[in-house]
Amino acid sequence: MLLHHWRILLPLITTDLRVSAFSFSTTARASRGKFECQFPKHHPLRASTKQISEQTSSSSQSEEQRISVHETIEKLTRHPAVYWDETTTFSSLHNKKLKMRHIDLFAETSDEDYRLFNGFARAVAQAGRVARKEVFETWASALHIHSGFLLGEGGTRRVCDVAAGHGLLAWALLILDDAESKSCEGEGCRPLTVLCLDVVMPRNAELIQAAMLECFPHLESRFDYVEGRLEQLIPHPSCLLASVHACGPLSDVLVATSASSGVPLAVVPCCHSRKRKVLEPVASPFAWDLYDEIMSEDGSMPDLADRLDHARVTALRNSGMVTDEEYLPTLYTDTDKNRLILARVPDDGSFQSSKPQGQAKVKKPKRQRRKGSMPPLDESTSTKSINPNAKYLRGFSVPCEDSETRRALVSRQAGREAADSRKAMMHNRNHSASPRLNMSLWLPENEGALSEEALADLINSRHDGVAVEVSKVGEIYTNSEGRRSQSYRFEYVSSEGGKSILKFDDAKRLHRELYELVPKAFIGAECR
C-alpha cells in the first residue's frame, strides 16, 4: 500500500532532487575521485550540546526523537536513488551494486535528512562493492540505534558491530555520531569508537574502509576491524552489541548474552532456523519454554520468524532488560528480516545478572581448554568470553569493554596483518610464533668449531628476514665406540619484527637445508 503511494508521488519528488544531483555532478567530475565530504554542524536528531563520560548505562530515546527517526527513514524511501528511473523498481535493483557512476544520486544537499546519508553513500559508491539495498537498510538501522543508544548523557560510547561483513553499520554509526560530536563541548565529550568483528574480514570491507577514510580521515582512530568469532568476544555492559543480519544462531547467542550479562543489544535477526541441533545450544534459558515449543513442533511453520523473534524478545524481557522493536521499511528488506530488536539495561539499576532456575538444557562445554590447545596470547582471555569452548577460543579473545587499555588491545588485534599473523600462528606446531626444531649431530673431531653461533650463521648469513637462535639440548651422548653426539634446538624467528610470524612450513624448509649444509661446513660432523 505504502509502496504504491510512493510510486505515485515519485515523479514529483525526484524531479526536484535531481536538480541538486546535477549541480553536484559538475563539481564531482571536475575533481574526479576526490569528494568533498562535509558534515552539517547540527544533526536534526539532536540540537543540544552533548556531555559524555565513561559510563556504562545506555540512553533511552524520547518519543520526539523516535518520531523524528521514523520521519527521516520514511523520507529515505523517497530518496532519488530508490527510483533511478520511472520503469525500474527498487526491488528489481536490490542487489545492484552502488558504483562511482551513481554518485550523482547522492548529491551534496542542504536537506538535513539526506545530507549525512548522501556522504555515507558516496563513500560506499566509491568502493563500488555494496548492494544498493544494503546501504539504505543499514542506514535505517543505524538511525534507530544511534537514537536509541548513543544520544545524550550516558549514551553508549563503544559499539561492536558483530558479524559485521562489510562493516557498514559501524561506519554509519560513526558518521552519525561524528555529526553530533561537532557540537559537543567540554572535557566530557568523547567520540564513539567502533569495533567490527567477523569470522572473515572480507577484502571488500578493506576497500570500504579505504573509501570511508578518504572521505572521513579523522575517523581512522575510532574504527577497528578484528577478524574473529563472536564466540571469542568478551562482552561488557559498556559496549553495545549491534548486528544487522545476524544469521540464525548468532542472533540467539547475542540475545542470550545480553539477557544473562545486561549488555545492551541491537539486532536484526535473519535466516531463522528451528533445527534443534542449531537452536538448543544457543537458546536463552530466560525463554526456554518458547524455544522448546518451536523446536518440538512438527510440520511447516510459516510464522517461524515471528515466533522465534518473540522468544528472543521474551528472553530479554524476562531477564529484566528493557526492550523495544522497530521495523525497517520492507521496501529494502525481505519481510521476515526487517525486525530490529533493541534491549537495554533499565535506568533504575534494577537489572541483576542471573540465570532462571531449572529451565534450560543448554549444553555446557566440558572443559575450558583442550589438552595441548593454544595457550592464551594475552591477558584478555582472563575474562569470560561469549563461548569459552576451546574449539572456538583458540587462545584468542576480543574484549569490547570501553576502557583505554581494552580499546588499545583491540586496535592491536585489528587489521589484515594481525589477522594473517594469528592464522599463521594457529597452523604452527604448538601455535608458536617462532617454530622450534631439533637436530642431533655426531660431532666432528674439531668440536670447538661447531659452536651454536656457527650453526646459526649457516642460516642467518644465507637468508634475510629470519634469525635463527641455537641452543644445546641435554648432555653429550657417547656411544660404545666413543663417538660423541650433541642435540641442538633451532628456533626460527622472524627478524622482520612487529606482528610477523614465521610459518612452520618455512621453518621446516630451512631446517632441511641445514641437514645438507652442516656436513659440508663442519668436516666430520654428521646428522643423526
Ligand X SMILES: C[S@@+](CC[C@H](N)C(=O)[O-])C[C@H]1O[C@@H](n2cnc3c(N)ncnc32)[C@H](O)[C@@H]1O
Which one of 165, 248, 262, 435 is in contact with ligand X (CB under 6 A)? 165
Of 162-170, 277-285, 419-427, 474-482, the window that binds ligand X (rule: CB under 6 A) is 162-170
- Residue 397 is placed in which grid cell? 579473545
What whole-number distance in Å separates Cα of residue 190 and Cα of residue 184? 9
CB 311 within 8 A of CB 290: yes
We find the least distance from the C-beta atom of residue 489 to ligand X, in angstroms, to be: 38
Compare residues 250 and 255 and give the one whose CB is closer to ligand X. 250
Compare residues 151 and 246 and give the one whose CB is closer to ligand X. 246
What whole-number distance in Å separates Cα of residue 488 and Cα of residue 480? 22
Binding letters toward ligand X, positions 267-286, x by CB under 6 A? --------------------
We find the least distance from the C-beta atom of residue 117 to ligand X, in angstroms, to be: 17
Question: How does 145-177 read in b/e, with b if 16+ C-beta sit within 10 Å?
Answer: bbbbbbbbebbbbbbbbbbbbbbbbbbbbbbbb
We find the least distance from the C-beta atom of residue 430 to ligand X, in angstroms, to be: 25
Which one of 245, 307, 407, 431 is in contact with ligand X (CB under 6 A)? 245
DSSP string over 409-472: HHHHH-SHHHHHHHHHHHHSGGG-SS-EEEEEEEPPSSGGG--HHHHHHHHHTT-TTEEEEEEE
Q: Which of residues 447-466 bind ligand X (CB under 6 A)?
A: none
What whole-number distance in Å separates Cα of residue 87 and Cα of residue 78? 15
Compare residues 28 and 305 and give the one whose CB is closer to ligand X. 305
Residue 247 makes contact with ligand X by CB under 6 A:
yes
Q: Which residues contact 396 (CB under 8 A, 6 or more apart)?
A: 228, 232, 374, 377, 381, 413, 422
Phi, psi of 205 (to 5 degrees): -65, -35
Which one of 175, 244, 400, 409 is in contact with ligand X (CB under 6 A)? 244
Question: Secondary structure of 492-525 in the HEC alphabet?
Answer: EEECCCCCCCCCHHHHHHHHHHHHHHHHHHCCCC
Compare residues 283 and 525 and give the one whose CB is closer to ligand X. 283
CB 263 within 8 A of CB 235: yes
Contacts of 209-215 with CB under 8 Å at 24 or more apart are: 209/167, 210/127, 211/123, 211/124, 211/126, 211/127, 212/123, 212/171, 214/34, 214/35, 214/123, 214/126, 215/35, 215/37, 215/119, 215/122, 215/123, 215/126
Compare residues 137 and 401 and give the one whose CB is closer to ligand X. 137
Residue 134 makes contact with ligand X by CB under 6 A:
yes
Compare residues 81 and 525 and give the one whose CB is closer to ligand X. 81
We find the least distance from the C-beta atom of residue 525 to ligand X, in angstroms, to be: 51
| Residue whose CB is nearest to ligand X in the complex, by number | 165
Which one of 140, 150, 163, 456 is in contact with ligand X (CB under 6 A)? 163
Q: Which of residues 190-209 bind ligand X (CB under 6 A)?
A: 197-200
We find the least distance from the C-beta atom of residue 244 to ligand X, in angstroms, to be: 4
Helix, strand, or coil (residue 279): helix
Of 8-16, 96-104, 164-172, 484-492, the window that binds ligand X (rule: CB under 6 A) is 164-172
Question: Would you give the DSSP letter of residue 324?
Answer: E
Compare residues 19 and 199 and give the one whose CB is closer to ligand X. 199
Binding letters toward ligand X, positions 216-235, x by CB under 6 A? -------------xxx----
Compare residues 199 and 210 and give the one whose CB is closer to ligand X. 199
Compare residues 45 and 328 and give the one whose CB is closer to ligand X. 328
We find the least distance from the C-beta atom of residue 138 to ligand X, in angstroms, to be: 6
We find the least distance from the C-beta atom of residue 233 to ligand X, in angstroms, to be: 8
Of 115-123, 243-251, 273-281, 454-462, the window that binds ligand X (rule: CB under 6 A) is 243-251
CB 390 within 8 A of CB 364: no
E strands within 281-358? 322-327, 339-344
Residue 164 makes contact with ligand X by CB under 6 A:
yes
The footprint of ligand X (CB under 6 A) covers 134, 163-166, 197-200, 229-231, 244-245, 247, 250
